[in-house]
């Protein structure tokens, strides 16, 4: 039963990648990016604002860090994904997003002093080859002439923003109730995205895009984080993180079913390589320095 929590969260987030793709052409990226957080904020406020108000003395010293987290994890990551969806496929987006745990691990090694492992080195190389296979449509050398698809590049930047968000959460370890922290980041996203929303062209909410906004708000922004928090509480962070590796596979299957996206051979090879690289980094934890020291006479 405990495994149902992370599995449901991954299913919702994979579906949200497809919803992000469906939003292209149905609603402007700046609109859905703003509406989803605005609605989430309105729904959260009656339950969480009184608690935040009572806990304000503990929250106030962390406002700067909360603002940075809200920009990276809520505003920047998802906004870039909406813009990327206009140019690239949901399958590509899911495979690129699967690099997030590896990027977060690299940041931890660089700035938190976490030991460099053979798995991290080899995993980074294998995943890099896998992503190259996907973004080049099976012709990596063609990137030298054609360059990277702008949508894939935006998704890479979005994934790095979320990896940096995850890294900072680990580094700062803000001792605040998780729901209050999530609510405050939602408020930051509303404030940060408001100027872009006001300056953007408007489609307006209509019967064709309202369900997309509701999915992004209620399921992806509210229900999935709650499920993930429960999973971390019941299974622990390390075991829960492993479920994130299912994201590209589930996204590709949903995209093929809902969007009729064709799964080419390069999606299979690239996705498997990317997934293998992440698993290597997570499971092969022999430190490089220890192995080098052991070989010395």
Q: How far is CA 253 from CA 10, 243, 256, 258, in A?
A: 13, 16, 5, 9
137: left (phi over 0), alpha (psi -120 to 50) or beta: left
**Which string of DSSP letters, residue by residue, matches 169-204?**
HHHH---S-HHHHHHHHHHHHHHHHHHHHHHS----
What is the C-alpha separation between 34 and 139, in angstroms, rounded? 37
Q: Give the torsion sign (CA, 138, 143, 145, 146).
A: positive
Domain ranges of the chain: 4-295
Q: Give the torsion sign (CA, 210, 213, 216, 219).
A: negative
The per-residue pLDDT for 72 is 94
Instruction: For residue 117, give the 3-state DSSP assignment.
Output: strand
pLDDT in tens, the chain (297 residues): 778 898 899 999 999 999 999 999 899 999 999 999 999 999 999 999 999 999 999 999 999 999 999 999 999 998 999 999 999 888 889 888 888 888 888 888 888 777 778 887 788 888 888 887 887 777 776 666 666 688 889 999 999 999 999 889 888 988 899 899 999 999 999 999 999 999 998 999 999 999 999 999 999 999 998 898 888 778 777 667 777 777 888 888 899 899 898 878 888 888 888 778 877 877 777 787 654 444 444
Angle at CA of residue 105, ends 101 and 111, nearest 5°: 145
Please name which of 2, 78, 10 lies closest in space to residue 247, comparing C-alpha atoms: 10
For the whole prediction, is pTM greater than 0.75?
yes
The per-residue pLDDT for 292 is 45
């Amino acid at each position: 039963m405990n495994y149902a929590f992370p599995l449901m969260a991954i299913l919702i987030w994979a579906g949200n990648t497809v919803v992000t793709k469906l939003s292209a052409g149905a609603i402007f990226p700046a609109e859905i990016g703003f509406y989803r957080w605005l609605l989430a904020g309105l729904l959260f406020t009656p339950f969480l604002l009184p608690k935040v108000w009572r806990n304000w003395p503990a929250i106030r010293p962390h406002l700067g860090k909360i603002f940075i987290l809200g920009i990276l994890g809520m505003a920047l990551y998802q906004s870039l994904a909406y813009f990327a969806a206009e140019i690239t496929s949901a399958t590509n987006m899911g495979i690129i997003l699967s690099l997030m745990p590896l990027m977060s691990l690299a940041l931890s090694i660089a700035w938190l002093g976490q030991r460099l492992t053979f798995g991290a080195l080899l995993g980074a190389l294998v995943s890099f080859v896998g992503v190259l296979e996907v973004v080049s449509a099976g012709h990596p050398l063609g990137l030298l002439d054609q360059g990277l698809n702008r949508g894939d590049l935006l998704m890479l930047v979005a994934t790095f923003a979320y990896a940096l968000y995850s890294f900072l959460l680990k580094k700062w370890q803000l001792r605040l109730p998780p729901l209050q922290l999530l609510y405050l980041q939602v408020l930051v996203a509303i404030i940060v995205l408001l100027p872009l929303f006001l300056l953007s062209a408007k489609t307006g909410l209509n019967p064709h895009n309202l369900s997309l906004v509701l999915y992004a708000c209620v399921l992806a922004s509210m229900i999935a984080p709650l499920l993930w928090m429960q999973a971390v509480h019941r299974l622990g962070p390390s075991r829960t993180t492993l479920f994130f590796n299912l994201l590209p596979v589930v996204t590709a299957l949903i995209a093929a079913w809902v969007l009729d996206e064709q799964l080419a051979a390069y999606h299979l090879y690239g996705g498997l390589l990317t997934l293998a690289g992440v698993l290597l980094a997570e499971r092969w934890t022999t430190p490089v320095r220890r192995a080098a020291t052991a070989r010395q006479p």
